[in-house]
């Protein structure tokens, strides 16, 4: 489908900056209102819940404009949860094939039933996820924010593999705003005081800090500076950075957009494993 030529959001080459801003901010109509009672992201504030989806959509629109990407036929949302963002993607790209991928089986099945998405059960390690499908758009909201540097490398490698040439990857991170929030003691993100001190010491030294949640292996909270994040992207030679906005998703997480450009290089190979889905 041609996103920029949809009836409610028309794009012209002569559009002024004011009209570009209106395009990015335009509300999307027809968003499904059903929320799963098991959705932990829904804390009783319905307006905020749906605004988070709209915030993600604004970030995705900016990424597509920056990448000059107009054809969106296949979309991956990983991790999809119970569809906080996927419902907005469904309304924005009604003709696109959606794929919902998450570790939580019930969440994936809810997205399949409610939004018509293809269900794929995720895995803890990116190397254990394989798909024959390739995507025009990948949205990855609040995943790398919970992974150590090895997890970052694995999932960026997966996305590099799953993107079609010209496809757009949009992902979020905890950046400088979150680091400062921790430093001032405004929020602990589920970590102990000593963990925050250790995380910030690593962040100040190398631009990246990570701590596990309790005894959870390889799952916790990460904070990454823009320069550190860009260095990770540089290891994937086909990933072209097209946008970087700090503290943008829900006025909280940094948003990074990349475009798959095979003219730059051959990419970084990823070792495969067993195929996990569809569910």
Which contacts qualify for 99-105: CB closer than 8 Å, 24 or more apart?
Answer: 99/74, 99/75, 99/131, 99/133, 99/135, 101/76, 101/77, 101/129, 101/277, 102/78, 103/79, 105/279
Mean pLDDT estimate for the chain: 88
d(CA 200, CA 54) in angstroms, rounded, equals: 31
Instruction: Please tell me which residue, 6 or 8, carries the higher pLDDT value.
Output: 6
Q: How confident is the model at residue 12 (pLDDT cuts 50, 70, 90)?
A: very low
What is the domain range of residue 123?
Answer: 5-11+42-260
Instruction: Please tell me which residue, 36 or 131, carries the higher pLDDT value.
Output: 36
Structural domains of the chain, count:
1
Which residue is associated with the tokens 């929320």? 35
In a domain, 24, yes or no: no
CA distances from 273 to 158, 159, 195, 202, 244 (A): 12, 15, 33, 32, 32
DSSP labels, 79-104: T-TTTTTHHHHHHHSTTSEEEEEES-
In a domain, 71, yes or no: yes
Residues listed for the chain: 279
Q: How confident is the model at residue 16 (pLDDT cuts 50, 70, 90)?
A: low
pLDDT digits (tens, 9 = 90+) for 144-198: 999 999 999 999 999 999 999 999 999 999 999 999 999 999 899 999 999 999 9
Which pLDDT value is given to residue 4? 54
Which residue is associated with the tokens 């819940």? 49
d(CA 261, CA 122) in angstroms, rounded, equals: 26
Contact predicate 89/57, CB 8 Å: yes
pLDDT digits (tens, 9 = 90+) for 243-253: 999 999 999 99
Contact predicate 152/126, CB 8 Å: no
DSSP 72: -
d(CA 276, CA 130) in angstroms, rounded, equals: 7
In a domain, 163, yes or no: yes
- CATH number, domain containing residue 72: 3.40.50.150
Per-residue exposure over 143-158, b if at least 16 CB sit within 10 Å of its own CB, e if not: bbbbbbeebbbbbbbb
In a domain, 171, yes or no: yes
CA distances from 258 to 167, 179, 240, 262 (A): 8, 23, 5, 12
């Amino acid at each position: 489908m041609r996103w920029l030529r949809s009836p409610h959001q028309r794009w012209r080459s002569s559009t002024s900056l004011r009209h570009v801003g209106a395009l990015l901010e335009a509300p999307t109509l027809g968003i499904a209102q059903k929320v799963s009672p098991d959705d932990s992201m829904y804390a009783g504030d319905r307006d905020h819940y749906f605004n988070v989806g709209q915030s993600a959509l604004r970030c995705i629109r900016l990424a597509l404009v920056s990448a000059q990407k107009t054809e969106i036929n296949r979309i991956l949302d990983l991790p999809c949860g119970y569809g906080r963002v996927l419902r907005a993607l469904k309304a924005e790209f009604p003709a696109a094939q959606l794929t919902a991928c998450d570790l939580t089986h019930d969440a994936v099945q809810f997205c399949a039933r409610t939004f018509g998405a293809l269900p794929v059960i995720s895995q803890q390690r990116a190397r254990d996820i394989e798909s024959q499908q390739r995507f025009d758009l990948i949205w990855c909201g609040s995943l790398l924010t919970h992974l150590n540097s090895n997890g970052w490398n694995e999932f960026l490698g997966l996305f590099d593999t799953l993107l079609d040439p010209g496809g757009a990857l949009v992902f979020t991170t905890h950046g400088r705003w979150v680091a400062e929030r921790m430093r001032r003691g405004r929020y602990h993100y589920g970590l102990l005081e000593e963990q925050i001190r250790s995380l910030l010491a690593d962040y100040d030294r190398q631009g990246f800090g990570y701590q596990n949640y309790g005894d959870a292996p390889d799952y916790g909270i990460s904070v990454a500076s823009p320069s550190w994040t860009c260095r990770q992207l540089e290891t994937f030679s086909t990933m072209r950075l097209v946008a970087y906005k700090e503290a943008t998703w829900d006025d909280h997480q940094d948003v990074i957009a990349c475009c798959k450009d095979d003219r730059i290089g051959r990419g970084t190979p990823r070792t495969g494993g067993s195929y996990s889905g569809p569910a």
